[in-house]
């Protein structure tokens, strides 16, 4: 699937915010704001986080099948498509068996969280 640079950046940031929330009990309980924690990381901290996630997220996004996009509507990708794309792009680092399945399911959920943050599609021809 093809994404614009802005969409890829937006998805990657959404994945990073979901990762921060998953790692911090204070964010999950509402004691800290995830956006504030993101800002507190600083420029280099945000870069490091995005760099680390990009090697896992971007290949799966590119492996997604083409989906018709409608002007003014949000992108809808099924969970099975996400899991298939992650499975296809996952290397040996995920292991085998149950460990691999857990990795695929968790990465698909993270990518879904990132895709949920995409704004509605704007057709450049309209």
Q: Tokens 């990465």 appear where?
A: 107
Question: What SS3 class is residue 31?
Answer: coil
User: Does 124 reside within a domain?
Assistant: no
pLDDT at 93: 76
Q: In which domain, by residue range, is 16 found? A: 5-116
> Does 16 fall in a domain?
yes
pTM value is 0.85
The answer to whether position 106 is within a domain reads yes
Segments in 29-117 forming alpha helices (H): 34-40, 42-63, 79-89, 97-116
Number of domains into which the chain is organized: 1
Q: Render pLDDT for 25-83 as a digit per residue (tens, 0 to 9).
A: 999 999 999 999 999 999 999 999 999 999 989 999 999 998 888 888 888 899 999 99
Indicate whether 83 belongs to any domain. Answer: yes
């Amino acid at each position: 699937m093809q994404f614009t640079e802005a969409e890829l950046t937006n998805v990657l940031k959404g994945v990073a915010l979901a990762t921060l929330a998953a790692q911090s009990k204070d964010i999950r309980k509402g004691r800290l704001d995830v956006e504030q924690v993101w800002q507190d990381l600083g420029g280099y901290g945000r870069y490091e986080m995005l760099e680390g996630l990009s090697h896992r997220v971007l290949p799966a996004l590119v492996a997604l099948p083409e989906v018709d996009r409608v002007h003014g509507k949000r992108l809808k990708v099924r969970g099975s498509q996400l899991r298939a794309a992650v499975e296809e792009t996952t290397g040996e680092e995920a292991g085998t068996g149950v460990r691999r399945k857990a990795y695929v399911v968790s990465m698909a959920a993270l990518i879904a969280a990132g895709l949920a943050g995409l704004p509605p599609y704007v057709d450049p021809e309209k």
